């Protein structure tokens, strides 16, 4: 046993960078919702970027360490404490055997990532240690952590150094106004021109049920559909299609009322139309949205999406250089 869970938090799960390659079989990507935050936490403690850590959402767990370890907490601001003493985030912190890690109330963002030197050692399932709770697959017994769980760590490397910290200038800042850039797609023409304009004009708010599977939004005006003769196999609801493949980031709008952005644990196919897709560069940001946060969708083209992806990669490259 390397650490023990005394309080589990709300939905704390073991995550690495995910399980790509099985979506066509219905096994989702899973993995950290904020990928750069997990990568950074791992780099801070000298792990491979893809080592398994804990994804902590809204409320932190309480953990007791059975061995000395170097840890780092990144992502949303859920302030950590060691034996009750406040500790900095985005910094490698030495923990002694017997010390308790706990967390204060969420201050900003939504999800924090805890990396521990050596990484969390749970069995690899289809090449990943990520938890897919809906499918009881991977992670620690395929589920979120519970009080009493005892987890193992892998062997510590030698790249970690206590006190190593990511410079402020490289830490992501949550924008005051959230814009999620989206690319209209295959089913865009299913809604009227008026509805297409509304989708980008209206302010939507994160629904409290938003989770790792999908981020649901509500508050915009309902979208009108272009009348059609339902094709064979699609239901009579105008938002239904003949079953198709869903992609990471695709936006489905059942009944034209509440957009759902599919995230890491989403199902891979189904019968809802997907008028647009959130660009890959903005998917980490979604991980940091609390319920009720207002959001606008912003229309972009492919060229802009690719440029944003290059910028996102350059940001990660700068973090790697700073922590090399």
Partner 1 sequence: MATTQVPCPLPGTFYRRPSPDQPAFKNEGDPVAVGDTIGLIEVMKTFNEVKAEIAGTLKAFLVEDEEAVMAGQPLYEIDA
Residues forming the site for partner 1 (CB under 8 A): 10-11, 57-59, 105-107, 110, 208-211, 290-292
CA separation, residue 108 to residues 22, 81, 136, 189 (Å): 34, 16, 30, 37
To the nearest whole angstrom, how small is the minimum distance from the Cβ of residue 268 to partner 1? 20
36-65 b/e with 16+ CB inside 10 Å = b? bbbbbbbbbbbbebbbbbbbbbbebbbbbb
Structure tokens at 163: 């006190």
Give the nearer residue to partner 1 in terms of CB position, either 54 or 234: 54
To the nearest whole angstrom, how small is the minimum distance from the Cβ of residue 15 to partner 1? 16
Give the nearer residue to partner 1 in terms of CB position, either 1 or 10: 10
To the nearest whole angstrom, how small is the minimum distance from the Cβ of residue 280 to partner 1? 23
To the nearest whole angstrom, how small is the minimum distance from the Cβ of residue 48 to partner 1? 29
40 touches 114 (CB < 8 A)? no
Q: Which residues pair with 116 in a beta bridge?
A: 71
What is the CB neighbour count within 10 angstroms for residue 88?
Answer: 13
Give the nearer residue to partner 1 in terms of CB position, either 39 or 263: 263
Question: Which residue matches tokens 């493949």?
Answer: 245
Give the nearer residue to partner 1 in terms of CB position, either 76 or 118: 76
To the nearest whole angstrom, how small is the minimum distance from the Cβ of residue 163 to partner 1? 28
Task: List the one residue out of 287, 285, 281 whose CA is nearest residue 307.
Answer: 281
Give the nearer residue to partner 1 in terms of CB position, either 59 or 306: 59
């Amino acid at each position: 046993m390397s650490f023990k869970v005394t309080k589990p938090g709300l939905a704390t799960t073991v995550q690495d960078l995910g399980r790509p390659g099985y979506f066509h079989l219905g096994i989702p990507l899973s993995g950290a919702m904020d990928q750069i935050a997990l990568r950074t936490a791992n780099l801070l403690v000298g792990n491979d970027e893809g080592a398994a850590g804990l994804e902590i959402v809204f409320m932190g767990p309480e953990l007791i360490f059975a061995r000395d370890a170097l840890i780092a907490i990144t992502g949303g601001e859920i302030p950590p404490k060691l034996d009750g003493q406040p500790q900095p985030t985005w910094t490698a912190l030495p923990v002694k055997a017997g010390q308790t890690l706990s967390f204060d109330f969420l201050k900003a963002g939504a999800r924090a990532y805890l990396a521990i030197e050596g990484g969390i050692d749970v069995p690899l399932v289809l090449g990943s240690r990520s938890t897919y709770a809906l499918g009881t697959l991977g992670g620690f017994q395929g589920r979120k952590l519970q009080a009493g769980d005892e987890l193992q760590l892998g062997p510590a490397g030698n790249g970690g150094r206590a006190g190593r910290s990511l410079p402020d200038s490289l830490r992501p800042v949550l924008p005051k106004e959230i814009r999620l850039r989206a690319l209209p797609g295959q089913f865009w023409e299913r809604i009227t021109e008026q509805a297409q304009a509304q989708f980008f004009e209206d302010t939507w708010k994160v629904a409290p049920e938003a989770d790792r599977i999908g981020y649901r939004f509500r508050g915009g005006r309902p979208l009108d559909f272009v009348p059609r003769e339902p094709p064979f196999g699609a239901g009579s609801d105008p938002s239904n299609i003949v079953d198709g493949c869903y992609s990471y980031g695709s936006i489905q709008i059942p009944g034209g009322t509440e957009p759902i952005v599919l995230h890491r644990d989403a199902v891979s196919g189904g019968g809802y139309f997907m008028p647009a897709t959130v660009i890959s560069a903005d998917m980490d940001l979604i991980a940091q949205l609390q319920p009720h946060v207002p959001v606008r969708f912003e229309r972009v083209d492919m060229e802009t999406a690719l440029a944003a992806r290059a910028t996102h990669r350059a940001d990660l490259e700068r973090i790697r250089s700073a922590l090399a």
